[in-house]
Chains A and B, each alone.
Chain A
Amino acid sequence: MSEVMLQLLLRSLWETVLMTAASGLISLVAGLPLGLALIATERGGIAENLWVNRILAAIINGFRSVPFIILLVALIPVTRLIVGTSIGTWAAIVPLSIAATPYYARIAEVSLREVDRGLIEAARAMGGNRWTIIREVLVPEALPGIVAGFTVTLVTLVGASAMAGAIGAGGLGDLAIRYGYQRFETTVMIAVVAVLIVLVCGIQWLGDRLVVRLDHRV
């Protein structure tokens, strides 16, 4: 592989890492509160409100049903409003975040639901309010699941970012499509796939390590 190709590969790796990290962070910050809201407002939750729960669920389901490639194009006006342009790596972060947030909210919801109701009852019996229950019980007890779910979301984002090439965002996926596939450069294709495997394995390994450190349940 030539020097130029190597440079291209490095730049693409950086673009992928940037897109994954930025949209991952946004989906964590927005998705976790959404997951908490879903759990809190459901029947028997700490802030039961079935209407809010239904509306939230409908919005989340709506965003999750749209194929990402469609969302990428459909969100162009929003992207332009936020980033100022509709092409490039930063522009791709907007639709990636908007797609990953409801996905992560559902994953967080599952982990939060697994928290033993007895623990919530104990916190209530101690005189804790809703905020106490969220801060001292729900989030810390669900943390291993929240982190494991975040790892899954990051890996999914690595995959989704390949499609972001459609709006000129670059990244490893884009490199594989344009050079490896369209120009039949098998070496590039193999190199990209190898880098992606290392990247995904690295993310998963870090996530797993963190979960083991956080999990005191057994």
Chain B
Amino acid sequence: MTSFRRCGLVLIGIAWLAVARVSAAADLPTLWAERAKAVVAVEYVTETEVDRRPTVTMGTVVDTQGTVILPPGAIDPRAALWQLKEFRVYLPGDANSAPGEYLGQDAFTGWHFVRADAALRARMVPVTNFAGPKKPAGLADFVWGIGLRGKDEDFTPYLLQSHVALVQALPQRTGIAQQEVAAPGLPVFDREGGFAGLALASFGQTFLQFSRGARSSAVMLVNVEESSAFLLAEDVLPYLGRVPKQPNGRPLAWLGAYGLEPMDREVAKFLKLSTQSGAVVSEVLEGSPAEKAGLRARDIVLAVDRKPLPQLKPDSVVVRYLEREIDRRAPGDALPLSVLRGAERLELNVVLGEQPKLVREAERKYFDRLGVTVREFVYGDAVERRARTADSAGVVVHFVKPSSPVAVAGLRFDDWIKEIDGAEVKTFAEAVQRLAEIDRDGNRPEFVILVGRGGETAVLRVKLK
């Protein structure tokens, strides 16, 4: 009798355990409430010559030190570091915020790293706490994620859910759900609450727009608040520790092959590369590691480190594949390339270099009375203007204040200032000194600048009175 009763208790216990397990997994609101602590909203200000623009973006908590990753598009790549100010981190549903520190962008993943103030850290839970799905998300799997409402609603979190419709290599393993599954930059989870991936910027969808009396026209819409595409966990978790050593993201690996272009299957077949793909090098930049290694314009890169470039869909993905091979390396690392030159196959051993100064790193100076910001002429400017680096003197117009004297004279963004008052401008310092003199001199009625614009030049007369 007793043994029967015991047995019955055990049976009931097992049944209860089974039910509890199922109900725990199904209790989405509980899972959601726990995991909402792994997401934050981040607000920062971009300061320009004439205004301050606040931007709100969202991020995922990746460790217990308050480190947050923001998606690649969260910050304008042209903005200089000193323009990015007042980072603030908000917890979902909370009107209070704490300061954050910008740590820089990782070139390989594209993620921006921000560290939240210690005060918030106790209330943040790293997404890695939920790591460990037994298998990567696959076709038809249930997935869900978190979205955040706007600042006026205290970034209240909400639930999004869907099923996986497709998994594709782009070249990272990317899940595409049937509907929006999370805000870009926020995590995606599986049924048990395991970390399944990180939402990407959403893909565009084509809609037909009808209007009265006109034929329908196709428009592409991109949802900026929610996304149905996400990187699978396997392409996220190994890289969460790639916090940049310095805010400028350096060191940055550099090859110096300009305009890598994909080839389609027909071309691959014609070149007898039926099972693999290749990338055409449009130009090899002056003084670059690619030039030093003997790479030439119109070479076709077939393999990196003896590994043939795969045929991916769409064709253009092969370029991202090759770029990632560069970005995952550091300056000084080897990048063994197999290339096709005409009918000849060559092995080139490239040693990657350090990226020359970028536009966002160039020095700048704003002259309020003239209404212009000039910036240092950097390597990328010479490339863009087909100038030899030896000839690259002058400064570039970075900003023109509307209705200012230079605007009235016809100066435009990206103009290349070569001469001021008939005398050549050699360096940034020289340009700044000359413009500062003009800016200060209240008696000066006018000055003349020679600018280059798209291969042509023009003499502009700036009236100051």
| A in complex with B | no
